[in-house]
């Protein structure tokens, strides 16, 4: 057998070997078992659960204060699911800050709004770990705060009633997303009180659709328990009871029975995130929580409309960014911005720039209140949370994040010093990212482009941070035909062949250089991945040309 064409089983074993797993670990990796560990290992979990129970029994008003992204909003819906099951949703008030007017995190404005509703207990989702002053302010008003968060803490924890955070305690999963931490809180509550409230065993598993989705969206490592949450989350997603999600899938003509992780991260997440970037995050929250079919349809269509507007805005800013970078020598960490750029979309801009230039990017603009705000996207060897800690005091107004991403605010007079300080801080940060050999591309031929090979490859999914989708190098492939597709003919599809097989290949948003090289009759070598075809079969996604 030609060594360039591994059998489906050989391909799977080759990919598993690159993960350096034992035989037992390989079996657990391929067939993850649903299991949530001892949640009392979160230091404050028990007192958080007891405080929620007291609020329920005493008839208190409860506030959920969640972040405005595809981690915080699903986490808020997970908590609402619990309170609906407990039949107290009329006493629960959800507050999601406006990305433009308030920015990220717990704010006095939000505390004011919840206090006005008589709230005596605030539960945060995906925020609060750095809100030292704001938590103290809430306490001074007689409001208890339970912080659930996963971001990097400051030198001290806020003086909340309880802080449910992976680093505060010894729970094995040290890298859950924010919705994951909220889910653990729900599981702990149900573990103690489900029988008293008549909630059936396993009720919480229906929440895994949003927990898995948030875990994928927030770029936390898809290993260990996170992998399990996403794997089971994808199973639940295909059976989801959430009317808004099912409506969104239908509007996007997505086959719910054939969903894979990229359908969620590239189709669903941008539309939900568009709510806070271009309008109000409550649109996304309402879509995920509504039981009204007509309202779900209105919301799905509105999110599609504002997502289209978001695409145009991001494309314009990226084009301007490329012009600014043309004449620059780029350091390891690049800071780039313009007062006219809208901070709400700069995380997307930073992602595109990071992928293009292979640098960590901090991208900023001016918010409505005149403060410089922005987002960062990091290479594996850099850690946003640790870098923020290493920056001298007085440079940043506030910042928060985890390894791969973060948000920040900085005074106008300090912004031009930020790049220098970040690059100085690299040497002070003791972070060595764990990289997987699986990310190394495998040289092979088109003989692996079969449904059986894809089936064995997909058994290693879900793919994401910590478990990247396997890439392959295809060399000296003949292009036999090409065509452009998409609304503006910006995507490329071509038929290709080599000595061992034929396939359909495609790439999105092709640039002029790639278009000129992928021509009928030409031979190309490229880095690519295997994916299910639009009309069945297997296709090859071209990531980049290699020669």
The string of DSSP letters for 403-431 reads SSEEEEEE-GGGGGGHHHHHHHHGGG---
**What's the whole-number mean pLDDT along residues 28-32?**
91
What's the pLDDT score for residue 510? 83
Q: Which residue has the higher pLDDT, 100 or 32?
A: 32
- Looking at per-residue confidence, does 460 or 440 come out higher? 460
Stronger pLDDT, 438 or 526, i.e. the higher one: 526
* pTM score: 0.85
Confidence (pLDDT) at 169: 94
Look at the chain and count its residues: 547
pLDDT over 80 (residue 461): yes
Average pLDDT in the 512-528 region? 92
Alpha-carbon torsion (133, 138, 139, 144), positive or negative: negative
Residue 142 has pLDDT above 90, yes or no: yes
Of the pLDDT bands very low, low, confident and very high (cuts 50, 70, 90), residue 435 is very low
Model pLDDT for residues 298-352, shown as the tens digit of each residue: 999 999 999 999 999 999 999 999 999 988 899 999 999 999 999 989 999 999 9
* Dist. CA 144–CA 394, nearest whole Å: 30
Mean pLDDT of 48-72: 97
Q: For residues 536 and 456, give the distance between their C-alpha atoms in angstroms, rounded to a whole number.
A: 16
User: Distance of alpha carbon 317 from its chain centroid, rounded?
Assistant: 22
Q: Percentage of residues in the chain with pLDDT exceeding 90? A: 73
Q: What is the tens place of the pLDDT at every residue in 1-14?
A: 444 689 999 999 99
Predicted local confidence at residue 22, as pLDDT:
86
**Mean pLDDT in the chain?**
91
Q: What is the mean pLDDT of residues 216-243?
A: 94
Give pLDDT, residue 4: 64
Looking at residue 193, its pLDDT comes to: 97
Question: What are φ and ψ of residue 472, in 5° steps?
Answer: -130, 145
Domains of the chain: 39-222 (3.90.1640.30), 238-311 (no CATH), 328-428 (3.10.310.30), 436-545 (2.40.50.140)
Structure tokens at 424: 């100085």
Q: What is the pLDDT confidence band of residue 430, given thresholds at 50, 70 and 90?
A: low
SS3 of residue 299 by DSSP: helix
Instruction: Give the β-pairing of 523-532 and 405-410.
Output: unpaired
Band (162; pLDDT cuts 50, 70, 90): very high
184 phi-psi bin (left φ>0, alpha ψ -120 to 50, beta other):
alpha
Dihedral of CA atoms 102, 107, 109, 112 in degrees, nearest 10, equals 160
pLDDT digits (tens, 9 = 90+) for 258-277: 999 999 998 999 999 999 98
Q: What are the residues whose beta carbons fall under 8 Å from the beta carbon of 340, sequence distance 6 or more?
A: 365, 366
Tens digits of per-residue pLDDT, 343-375? 989 999 999 999 889 899 999 999 877 789 999
Specify the long-range contacts of residues 104-109, CB closer than 8 Å, at least 24 apart: 104/67, 104/68, 104/400, 104/407, 105/130, 105/131, 105/134, 105/398, 105/400, 106/65, 106/131, 106/134, 106/135, 107/134, 108/134, 108/137
**354 alpha-carbon distance from chain centroid:** 16
């Amino acid at each position: 057998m030609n060594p360039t064409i591994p059998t489906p089983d050989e391909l799977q074993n080759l990919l598993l070997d690159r993960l350096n797993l034992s035989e037992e670990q390989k079996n657990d990796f391929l067939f993850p078992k649903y299991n949530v560990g001892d949640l009392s290992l979160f230091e404050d979990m028990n007192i958080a659960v007891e405080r929620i129970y007291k609020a329920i029994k005493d008839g208190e008003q409860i506030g959920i204060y969640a972040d405005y992204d595809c981690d915080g909003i699903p986490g808020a819906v997970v908590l609402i699911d619990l309170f609906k099951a407990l039949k107290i949703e009329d006493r629960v008030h959800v507050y999601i800050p406006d990305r433009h007017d308030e920015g990220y995190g717990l704010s006095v404005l939000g505390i004011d709004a919840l206090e006005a509703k008589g709230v005596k207990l605030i539960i945060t989702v995906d925020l609060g770990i750095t809100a030292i002053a704001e938590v103290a302010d809430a306490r001074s008003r007689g409001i208890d705060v339970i912080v659930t968060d996963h971001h990097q803490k400051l030198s001290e924890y806020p003086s909340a009633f309880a802080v449910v955070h992976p680093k505060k305690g010894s729970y094995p999963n040290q890298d859950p997303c924010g919705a994951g931490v909220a889910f653990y809180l729900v599981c702990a509550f149900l573990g103690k009180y489900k029988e008293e409230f008549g909630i059936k065993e396993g009720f919480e598993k229906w929440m895994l659709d949003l927990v898995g989705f948030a875990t994928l969206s927030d770029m936390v490592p898809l290993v260990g328990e996170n992998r399990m949450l996403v794997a089971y989350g994808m199973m639940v997603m295909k059976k989801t009871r959430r009317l808004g999600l099912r409506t969104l899938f239908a509007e996007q003509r997505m086959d719910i029975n054939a969903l894979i992780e990229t359908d969620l991260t590239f189709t669903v997440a941008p539309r939900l995130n568009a709510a806070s970037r271009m309008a109000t995050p409550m649109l996304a929250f309402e879509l995920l929580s509504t039981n009204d079919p007509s309202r779900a349809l209105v919301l799905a269509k509105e999110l599609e409309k504002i997502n289209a507007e978001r695409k145009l805005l991001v494309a314009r800013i990226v084009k301007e960014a490329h012009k600014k970078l043309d004449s620059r020598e780029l350091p390891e960490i690049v800071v780039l911005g313009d007062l006219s750029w809208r901070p709400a979309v700069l995380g997307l801009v930073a992602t595109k720039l990071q992928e293009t230039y292979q640098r960590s990017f901090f991208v900023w603009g001016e918010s409505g209140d005149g403060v410089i705000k922005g987002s960062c996207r990091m290479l594996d060897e850099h850690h946003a949370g640790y870098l923020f800690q290493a920056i001298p005091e007085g440079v940043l107004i506030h910042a928060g994040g985890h390894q791969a991403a973060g948000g920040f605010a900085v005074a106008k007079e300090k912004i031009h010093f930020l790049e220098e300080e970040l690059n100085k801080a690299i040497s002070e940060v003791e972070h060595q990212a764990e990289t997987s050999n699986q990310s190394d591309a495998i040289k092979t031929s088109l003989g692996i482009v079969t449904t059986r090979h894809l089936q064995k490859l997909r058994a290693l999914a879900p793919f994401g941070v910590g478990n990247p989708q396997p890439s392959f190098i295809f060399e000296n492939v003949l292009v036999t035909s090409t065509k452009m597709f998409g609304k503006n003919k910006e995507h490329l599809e071509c038929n290709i062949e080599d000595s061992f097989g034929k396939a359909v290949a495609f790439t999105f948003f092709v640039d002029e250089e790639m278009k000129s090289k992928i021509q009928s009759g030409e031979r190309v070598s490229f880095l690519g991945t295997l994916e299910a075809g639009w009309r069945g079969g297997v296709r090859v996604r071209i990531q980049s040309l290699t020669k």
